[in-house]
Amino acid sequence: MEKLLHLLENDATLTHKELALMLSKEEGDIKSMIRQLEKDGVILGYKAIVDWDKTEKETVTALIEVKVMPQRDDGFDKIAEKIQNYPEIKGLYLMSGGFDFTVLIEGKTMKEVAYFVARKLAPIEFVTATATHFVLKTYKYNGVIYNSPKKDLRESDGI
Amino acid sequence: MIDHELMLSDTLKYIKPSGIRKFFDLLADMGDVTALTVGQPDFVTPWHIREAAIQSLERGHTYYTSNSGLPELRAEICSYMKRRFDLDYTPGEALITVGGSEAIDVAVRSLVNPGDEVIIPMPSFVCYEPIARMAGAVPVIINTKAENGFKLTANELRAAITPKTKLLVLPFPNNPTGAILEREELQAIAEVLRGTNIAILSDEIYAELTYGKRHVSIASIEGMRERTIIASGFSKAYAMTGWRLGYLLGPAPWIKQMTKLHQYAIMCAPTVSQFAAVEALKNGDDDIAGMAAEYNRRRVFITEGLREIGIEVMEPQGAFYIYPYIGGFGLSSEEFCQRLLMEEKCAIVPGTAFGECGEGYARISYAYSVRHIEEALEKIKRFVDKLK
Ligand SMILES: Cc1ncc(COP(=O)(O)O)c(C=O)c1O
């Protein structure tokens, strides 16, 4: 199960047949295992990893530290529910340490992101402070190194 | 004027350059070729192994090691052999070499006298015959047959043995055919050798790359360990071709003499690579498994792909090559490969590079991404459709 998840996390385009082969299992077993994992919400989706910097599209990404008033019980979850539904927000984490939430946000321009923070995020109830950090360059994300050489480095074929 | 040619060793002059090389020289000048020619993994050496090498440099391990190699590495190799192949060796029965290549060279040169016969099953890796010749030995070629799945059979071996036979090279899992020898087949071969004074050089560099069945070493067959020298290395299993590291395992009296030759010719294998190899053996079992699973996926993909195109091919059981029959199109292997290269910009190696018996066949390496293999298959299909 764990191996199957690792393989899929690494390459979601693997077919049932290929997975069966790599895990020495029957194709049908793989199919039903994946179905179950999807049903159980262990597998939540399948996406391509896009390096938008290599396209015409202008995007900026920012990491926002959010501080909120101290909360009891499910207080943090309630605040998270208010934040998480904005489509601009790509990631949301409850943190230990000096602040409470990390918000990962994507926008067209820095201005747009700044407006979003000021107009949408900061006014949310219990939010006491935000600090926005813009991403300047992505080296690695989701286990993928963005500018690793695509060229075949094998100079010689051996003999 | 000195005649440089005249001054060279006669034996060396009559050794042909590798047929694989010849083909690559053609390839080198063409841009944008989809090649399936490479005999090395496409993976980069796992990071923890590279890191161990870097750390060894940081700590100043920039000296020679002992001639036979780091004691820790030899001990790790022994425990690895036990763990993976149920073979019992002690560090005194191990010699660390500069790749499987040097291991083969040292083993052959240490075992043969001029005039001795060395039995070499072909098609196989290209180095055995020239190395045997340089040692003054007489190569005796056994052409393995397609109908036997390119396995060496006991009968073929029996027929090749003469009173002069000194050494049998056992190149399985096989480059280029992907054939492996299973326990019963090894037992039959062992039966032929039992009671003779014939030594075995078992080239097990692809031992980790078998699919479905674990590799069995001839040394684990009763009565064979005492006459077997195993040549292996890190190049294929750990994706470490550039590190140039391999080893020999065999009876202590042999290893002692082989170490002497290695000492005079090489001194010791690269120290930094030896430190990397210790890490590979200690923490690399998962890396091997991951890469082998990926090769397996490609293996099935390419076998089916070739068959769909209408090319006859045996399903390879080991290494990362497939060896299809391309003789049915009215072209020689070399013509087929050359025209495929010129007309479709797709490169594969003519079987004749691995012995005359390779006529009619080609070696295709699947040490490439599935996408790359897919692209190559499209080109091969277009080419073959033209020929039909
Ligand atoms: C069958 C076989 N043996 C030995 C070698 C030598 O490998 P290395 O010297 O890199 O260990 C190769 C490399 O292609 C091979 O295919």
Q: Please list the residues that pair with B117 across neighbouring strands.
A: B138, B165
Closest CA to B177 of B334, B321, B383: B321
Tell me which chain B residue has its CA closest to the CA of residue A25.
B212
Query: How much is the pLDDT for B71?
Result: 98
Indicate if ligand 1 lies below 6 Å from the C-beta of B171.
Answer: yes
For chain A, domains (ranges, CATH) are 2-39 (1.10.10), 52-141 (3.30.70.920)
Chain A contact probe: residue of B297, B372, B375 with most A CBs at under 10 A: B297
For chain B, domains (ranges, CATH) are 4-44+287-387 (3.90.1150.10), 61-284 (3.40.640.10)
**B96, B299 contact by CB (below 8 A):** no
- For residue B303, give Cα distances in angstroms to B257, B300, B310: 44, 5, 11
- For residue A158, give Cα distances in angstroms to B242, B302, B322, B364: 10, 22, 17, 14
CA dist A122 and A111 (Å) reads 15
CA dist B144 and A50 (Å) reads 49
Indicate if ligand 1 lies below 6 Å from the C-beta of B37.
Answer: no
**Mean pLDDT (whole number) for B128-151:** 97
ipTM exceeds 0.95: no
Indicate if ligand 1 lies below 6 Å from the C-beta of B318.
Answer: no
Indicate if ligand 1 lies below 6 Å from the C-beta of B98.
Answer: no
Which of A22, A152, A159 lies at the smallest CB-CB distance from B127? A159
To the nearest whole number, what is the mean pLDDT of chain B? Answer: 96
CA dist B182 and B216 (Å) reads 6
Q: Using one digit for the tens of pLDDT, what is the confidence trace for B338-357? A: 999 999 999 999 999 998 89
H helix count then E strand count, chain B: 14, 12
Query: Residues of chain A whose pLDDT is less than 50?
Result: none
Give me ligand 1 centre to Cα B175, in Å: 9
Provide the CA A144 distance to its chain's centre, in angstroms: 12
Place of tokens 């032929």: B192
- For residue B114, give Cα distances in angstroms to B136, B159, B165, B166: 4, 22, 12, 11
Place of tokens 């699919």: B211
Give, using CA atoms, the residue closest to atom 14 of ligand 1.
Answer: B39
Q: Quick check: B58 pLDDT over 80?
A: yes
Closest-CA distance, A140 to chain B, in angstroms, reads 15
Give me ligand 1 centre to Cα A84, in Å: 55
Report the residue among B101, B202, B245 best suited for mutation to probe ligand 1: largest number of ligand atoms under 8 A from its CB: B101
Q: Quick check: B26 pLDDT over 80?
A: no
- For residue B268, give Cα distances in angstroms to B99, B246, B307: 12, 11, 46
Query: How much is the pLDDT for A156?
Result: 72
**Mean pLDDT (whole number) for B274-285:** 98
Report the residue among B125, B169, B266, B365 best suited for mutation to probe ligand 1: largest number of ligand atoms under 8 A from its CB: B125
Closest CA to B69 of B283, B288, B281, B272: B272
> What number does the ligand 1 atom closest to the CA of B206 have?
1
- For residue B165, give Cα distances in angstroms to A153, B116, B125: 42, 6, 20
Q: Check whether the bond before B123 is cis (ω within 30° of 0).
A: yes
Which of B38, B212, B296 lies at the smallest CB-CB distance from A154? B38
Q: Using one digit for the tens of pLDDT, what is the confidence trace for A96-126? A: 999 999 999 999 999 999 999 999 999 999 9
Q: Using one digit for the tens of pLDDT, what is the confidence trace for A126-137? A: 999 999 999 999
Query: How much is the pLDDT for A159?
Result: 66
Helices (H), B238-309: 252-265, 271-283, 285-309
Give me ligand 1 centre to Cα B205, in Å: 6
Structure tokens at B257: 């003499």
Place of tokens 């990362």: B320
